[in-house]
Amino acid sequence: MYRVVLIDDEKRILEGLRKVVRWQDFGCQVVGDAGDAIRGAALIREARPHILFTDIRMPGDDGLTMLAGLRSEFPDMQVVVLTGYREFTYAQEAIRLGVTRFLLKPSKLDEIHDALRVATERLSGQTPPGGENKESRYAQSHIVNHALAYMEAHFAEKLTLQEVADSCYVSQWHLSKLLNKQTDGTFYDALNEIRVREAKRLLADPKLRVGDIGALVGYQDSAHFARVFKKLTGMSANEYRNSL
């Protein structure tokens, strides 16, 4: 049996999918559902479904980033988007990320069954997936770009790999792997580069003390800031300021 997970913030949609769709006719079984992207991503890591039916416009969630994260971390999982959001560019981006079908609510039962048919045929090897490697790479780039943007916005905070991974709807391990692959460095390498770049900008302001700048860019330990700054620039913060 192919395992299926459902994600939607509307309970009636989840109940309707469970009751109305003829899952067994396609060799499928619903193994769980969730009402938001965070719980949905956790459920997917636990249940390892073959097929996902999901909305991508839920309150408080970044649907496209969730979709990119899932496609990146689980490239063989077939994803059917079921949404009431009708903007064409949104659908276009979802399709670029490699969804099996993009269905608008309210969807007809035969549309859902057709999506199931395509998904199960791909899983059984009857139908070529068509460009999954390209779609997976696109999803990976989307996640790395989102992670770096999140780090740019929160570098002054006590930022952890877990927090950034949660914002991308992927596991720590998967995000770490993607950052290594696409930036040739670790999470902390990328974070230090962002912080030191901001520190260099702040050093141009003579009113700011060097000792305070480290804290402003996220380093609670001034000695740690000094070590990182010298490692990345080849000079101390004071030497850099004097060179301006």
Enumerate the domain spans of the chain: 2-129, 135-243
- pLDDT, averaged in runs of 10, over the chain (244 residues): 94 93 96 92 94 86 85 92 80 87 90 95 70 74 94 96 94 95 95 97 94 94 95 96 92
Res 128: pLDDT: 47
The architecture of the domain spanning 2-129 is 3-Layer(aba) Sandwich (3.40)
The yes/no answer on whether domain 135-243 falls in CATH 1.10.760.10 is no
Beta strands 2-7 and 51-54 are parallel
Res 130: pLDDT: 46
Q: What is the pTM of this model?
A: 0.79
Strands of 2-7's sheet in order across: 28-34, 2-7, 51-54, 78-83, 101-104
Res 129: pLDDT: 47
Res 237: pLDDT: 95
Res 127: pLDDT: 52
Cα–Cα dist 226/201, whole Å = 16
Res 61: pLDDT: 73
Res 206: pLDDT: 92
Cα–Cα dist 228/236, whole Å = 9
Distance of CA 19 to the CA centre of its chain: 30
Res 106: pLDDT: 84
Res 198: pLDDT: 97
Q: Look up tokens 């912080």; give the residue.
A: 195
Look at residue 74 and give its three-state secondary structure: coil
- DSSP string across 136-155: HHHHHHHHHHHHHHHHHHHT
Res 96: pLDDT: 87
